[in-house]
Each structure stands twice: as C-alpha cells, then as structure tokens.
Amino acid sequence: MSAPLAQLRIREDPTESCEADNGFCPDWIADNFDRYVDPFFEHVYLTVVAVAIGFAISFALALIAYRRRWLVSPITQVTGILYTIPSIAAFFLLLPLTGRGKTTALIALVAYVLLIIFRNVLAGLDNVPDETKDAGRGMGLTDRQLLWRVEVPLALPEIMAGLRIAVTTTVGLATLAFFAGAGGLGGQIFSDITFKSNVVVAGGLAVLLAAALDGLILLVQRGITPWTRAVAAR
C-alpha cells in the first residue's frame, strides 16, 4: 500500500445496479466477506497488543507514583501531552523514526491509552479506605502485602473501568492505523469510502469488536470482583 488514500475499485461488476448505486447490497457482502477477515484480525491484534502494553506501562507508573506522590504531576503531564497529540499526527511524526508498519501504529496507540489507565489505577488505589489500610498495617501486612492483597484488589473496579475506556477508544483509533501502514479495518473503510456496503461492513465490524471487547472485560471484572455485587442481606 504505497498510497493509502487511493480509492481502489473493489466492485468487480459495477454494472450491477445495487453496486453501481453505491447501495447496501447483501449479495455483494456475502460474496466479498472474505476480504474483511484479515483486516479484522489485524485490528484485534493492534487493539489488544496496544492496550496490553499500555496497561503494563501505566499500571507500573501508577504503582510507582502511588508511593512517591511527587511523581503524579509530571507523569500526568507527560501522558497528558501524549493523549492530546492527534494520532494521525503521531503516525506521521513517528514515520521517519520507526518506519511504516505495526510498530509505529502500536507506539502511537499505546501513548494514547497511558493517561486513561494511569489515572484510573491511581484513582482506584487512592479510593481504598484509610481504615482498611490502617487495619491491614496494624495486623502486620508489609507494604508490599498491603499493596497486592488489599489495595490492588480494591482498586480493581476502577482499573477495569479504565481498561474498558482504553479498549473502546483504541478500537476506534486503530481504524487510522493504516496511515502508518499497519492495516486494520481502517484500510478497508478507506478503500472505497463511497460504497455503502463496504463502509457498513468494515465500520460495523469495528463497532462489534469494541462492544465485544468491552463486554469481555466487564465479564472478567464481574468474575474477579464478586464483593461489589454483594448486597446487604438485612
């Protein structure tokens, strides 16, 4: 793909009336669905890998900043700047450094989710009640035990909420990854932006992916935070 914005004619038989009208053609979709499969999985890959790396980095940053409060403001500022750089601009800024391909796209996508996850993890940790921490320390939990056995588990609802925002945002942003030559559903959408059938299928797959990943995280969250659903019995 040397010219990402070139409009390719993907319609083989433009004389057929539905296709000629750029309409929504179920027959065409059924015949051509194969062409969306690879971009879809590229999209899944970009999203999952970007969020996973972004989560690892920002979770670590949040844990460090939680104990060393003076780091909160510089980390928030730096990740905040990364968050405000438009991703298309980021792709083009990175091209001379990292070249075209998935690496460039992933760097930009990761940079974008850092702030979201960092702030949610930190907020989750900050919201752990003081008396809970005091009781834990008073019973002889070391700082590390307190963190992993009490503070992180209690922050899980906020952490998972951050992940859900990060995932849905990243699915959307990854549609621009083809500008960096990383493929994904965006390439398909822009391949023939005038053809309704194409846009609906490619765009629809992105929406479905976002909803599916969001639902998956929600399910995991329910599984690992059973206490949040425990209602007063009396």
Partner 1 sequence: MNTSDSAQPPGPSSRPAAATLEFRDATKRYPGQDHPAVDGLSLEVPAGEICVLVGPSGCGKTTAMRMVNRMIDITSGDILLDGSSVRERRPAELRREIGYAIQQIGLFPHLSVAGNVATVPRLLGWPQDRIRARVDELLELVNLDPHETRDRFPAQLSGGQRQRVGVARALAVDPPLMLMDEPFGAIDPINRERLQNEFLRLQREIRKTIVFVTHDIDEAIKMGDRIAVMRQGGKLAQYAPPAELLMYPQGRFVEDFVGSDRALKRLALQRVRDVDLWKAPLVRVGEPVAEARAKATESEVPYPLLVDGEGKPLGWLSEKGMQGERVEPELRSNPDPVLELEDVLRDALSDLLQEEAQYGPVVDHRGQVVGVLSIEILGHALRSDPDEVPSGADAAA
13 binds partner 1, rule: CB under 8 A: no
Tell me how far apart the alpha carbons of residues 7 and 226 are, in angstroms, rounded to a whole number. 50
- Please tell me whether residue 139 binds partner 1 under the rule CB under 8 A: yes
Cα distance between residue 4 and residue 8, in whole Å: 10
Residues 152-181 that bind partner 1 (CB under 8 A): 153-154, 156
User: Is 27 near partner 1 (CB under 8 A)?
Assistant: no
Site string for partner 1, 105-134 (x = CB under 8 A): ------------------------x-xxxx
Residues whose CB is less than 8 angstroms from the CB of residue 126 and which lie 6 or more positions away in sequence, other chains included: 66
Single out the residue of 9, 140, 194, 223 in contact with partner 1 (rule: CB under 8 A).
140
CB atoms < 10 A from the CB of 44, how many? Answer: 18
Q: How far is the CB of 159 from partner 1 (least distance, A)?
A: 13
223 binds partner 1 (CB under 8 A): no
Q: How far is the CB of 107 from partner 1 (least distance, A)?
A: 35
Do 59 and 162 meet the contact criterion of CB atoms below 8 Å apart?
no
Name residues whose C-beta falls within 8 Å of residue 202's C-beta, 6 or more positions apart in sequence.
Answer: 36, 39, 185, 188, 189
Stretch that binds partner 1, among 111-119, 170-178, 180-188, 225-233 (CB under 8 A): 225-233
**Burial of 34: CB neighbours in 10 Å, binned 0-12, 13-18, 19+:** exposed
CA atoms within 13 A on the CB side of 103: 7
- Interacting stretch for partner 1, rule CB under 8 A, among 106-114, 194-202, 214-222, 224-232? 224-232
Which residues form the interface with partner 1 (CB under 8 A)? 129, 131-142, 145, 150, 153-154, 156, 225-227, 230-234
